[in-house]
Amino acid sequence: MRLRHVLRIAGWHLILYCFVISYVLVGAYIFHYLEGEYENERHIEQKRIIGQIKSELFDRILSYNETLNVENDLRNFMKKISKLHISVENYLLFDGNTNNVPKRWTYPSSVLFAFTILTTIGYGDLAPTTHVCQIFTMVYGAFGIPLFLITIADVGRFFKTGIMYIVQLIYKKELKKQGERKLLREIGEVLLVAVLFLGFIAAGSAVLPLWEHQLTYFDSVYFSYMSLTTIGLGDIVPRRMDFLLPTLIYITIGLWLTTALVEQLADVFRLVHYAGRHVSNVKGVIAIIDGKGFLKMRPSLIFLARGRLDRGL
């Protein structure tokens, strides 16, 4: 019976995780469909405009004999190309089949875009341009962001349970001797999660340049911090779409650690804040000076504050 109960609970969690993954994949397909079609149409129109500009340029060159005028016309030609937001490399590709022009809205890049919406990272290097896609982005985020936050919180509960177990093992002797040292345990949990968070960034930043070759170790640390804290300035973004899966797994695990660290810090701040507000109302607080001249406080205040927090007061 107990095994069946555990499997039933685990099954619901697994369904939630699979639903989030499906939500990202299906959303990416819709983004790719909406923006990919428009991008193809835009490339065809750009090719037509480029052909027209080239014809005008050739006509002007044939009508001039002076080198200075030719240079001015070439300069104006490149300005017109740049106004179309086309690089010189892509312009050369436009001279042939538009299918050879690199597309921004591929399916992997759409997966990354959908993922950054749900996580609220939002790198900003890719953005919808059609009204239909912009409306869909708002609706997609309205449902997807709360869904992802629920999933992160769900995983965070398991993670926090493991952290508490490790801290209890570390402070087992101290907690047996002084069962009221709740604040010490809370601080220990914060320090452990902080060490894991920093170690995760340090290790992950050493691995990322193995496939993101444009990144140095410092760039990887910067990218990791900006992504895991959901700042996401967008100046550094994943480029290797063939290694997108390990990058997304790395960011997701890092977001779990970030959430756990914030929650642990919030617990400590609430504990200290409550203790500070009620220090004058607790009769069991006795301050004494020990032989070395340090001020000590009976830990019943911390014990009381922790009890009130556990009851949600």
Residues of the chain with pLDDT under 70: 1-3, 5-6, 43, 45-46, 50, 57-58, 60-71, 73-74, 77-78, 80-101, 164, 167-168, 170-183, 273-313
Locate the domains of the chain by residue range. 2-105, 154-270
DSSP secondary structure string for all residues of 97-145: -GGGSPPS--HHHHHHHHHHHHTT----SS---SHHHHHHHHHHHHHHH
Is residue 298 helix, strand or coil?
coil
Best CA proximity match to 109, nearest among 46, 39, 47: 39
Residue 38, judged by CB atoms within 10 A of its CB (0-12, 13-18, 19+), counts as: middle
DSSP secondary structure string for all residues of 19-70: HHHHHHHHHHHHHHHHHHHHHHHHHHHHHHHHHHHHHHHHHHHHH---HHHH
At 253-287, the pLDDT tens digits run 999 899 888 888 887 777 776 666 655 554 444 44
pLDDT at 192: 84
Exposure of 31 in the CB half-sphere (CA atoms within 13 A): 30
Place of tokens 């740049």: 82
At 57-82, the pLDDT tens digits run 667 666 655 555 666 766 776 676 66
290 in Cβ contact with 296 (< 8 Å): yes
Q: Would you state the structure tokens that stand for residue 83, as one six-digit string? A: 């106004």
Place of tokens 């014809």: 55
> Which amino acid belongs to residue 183?
L
pLDDT at 294: 41
pLDDT at 74: 67
Other residues' Cβ atoms within 10 Å of the Cβ of residue 31: 24
pLDDT at 193: 86
pLDDT at 10: 75
CATH topology of domain 154-270: Helix Hairpins (1.10.287)
Q: Name the pTM for this structure.
A: 0.74
Q: Would you state the structure tokens that stand for residue 62, as one six-digit string? A: 């044939």
